[in-house]
Amino acid sequence: MDAWTLGMTWLDYAAVAVFAASGALAAARRNHDVVTFGFFAAVTGVGGGALRDLLIGAPVFWVKQPAYVLVCLAAALMVWLFGSGRWRETILVWLDALGMAAYSVVGAAKAEALGIPALAALVMGVLTATFGGVVRDVLAGEPSVLLRREVYVSAAVLGAGAYVVLRAAGLGASPAGLIAMAAAFSLRGGAIIWRWTLPGFPDHRRRVER
């Protein structure tokens, strides 16, 4: 196994872990039991990657490697044991941002490695990075990330797009992945700190009423 493949494997596990932790923290907000913690963590941790694999015709990664599910359950247990406190909401937001940035690159890289065209690889990166969070929000009864005006999906697009473009320009997979992940995390981090949003569709009816 070469260094890049090994690095991507560890990054994949890390992204699953932080997404799983964000799922467990969402369960904590609703005061669910430990079994629900594990369910939220697993669905959030592997949901995006499972959708990606189904769409590109690859073996679903967690079925072939059950260790991913164990990572999700371990993350849920850690949250159950240490996830109380006023800082919980902040941790949830930043874990989600980190997982999104990592998964946008992991998803695009896996699609690219299987010969998927560049545009489709970008889409796979975005789906990998966002679908688990969408499922988590639906299960937790929270507004979906897709329905918020804050910068979230755009950050995933930036990460996956940057990776695809840098690879097309001839940059190695490892530096391209690091740059793309940093770009996605920086954009999402800026949105968290400074509340960046994209412009909404103008409501002309309100203008007429005024």
Annotate the chain with DSSP letters as a single string: --HHHHHHHHHHHHHHHHHHHHHHHHHHHTT--HHHHHHHHHHHHHHHHHHHHHHHTPPPHHHH-THHHHHHHHHHHHHHHH--STTHHHHHHHHHHHHHHHHHHHHHHHHHHTT--HHHHHHHHHHHHHHHHHHHHHHHTPPPGGG--BSSHHHHHHHHHHHHHHHHTT--HHHHHHHHHHHHHHHHHHHHHH--BPPPPP-HHHHHH-
Instruction: Quote the pLDDT of residue 204.
Output: 61
pLDDT at position 145: 72
- Per-residue tens of pLDDT for the chain, all 210 residues: 566 677 778 888 988 998 899 899 889 888 899 999 999 999 999 999 999 999 999 999 999 899 999 999 999 999 998 877 767 778 878 888 988 999 999 999 999 999 999 999 999 999 999 999 889 888 888 878 777 777 899 999 999 999 999 999 999 988 999 999 999 999 999 999 998 988 877 866 555 555
Position 201 scores a pLDDT of 76
Please report, for the chain, the start and end positions of each structural domain, with discontinuous segments joined by +: 3-196
pLDDT recorded at residue 114? 93
Instruction: Give the model's pLDDT for residue 4.
Output: 64
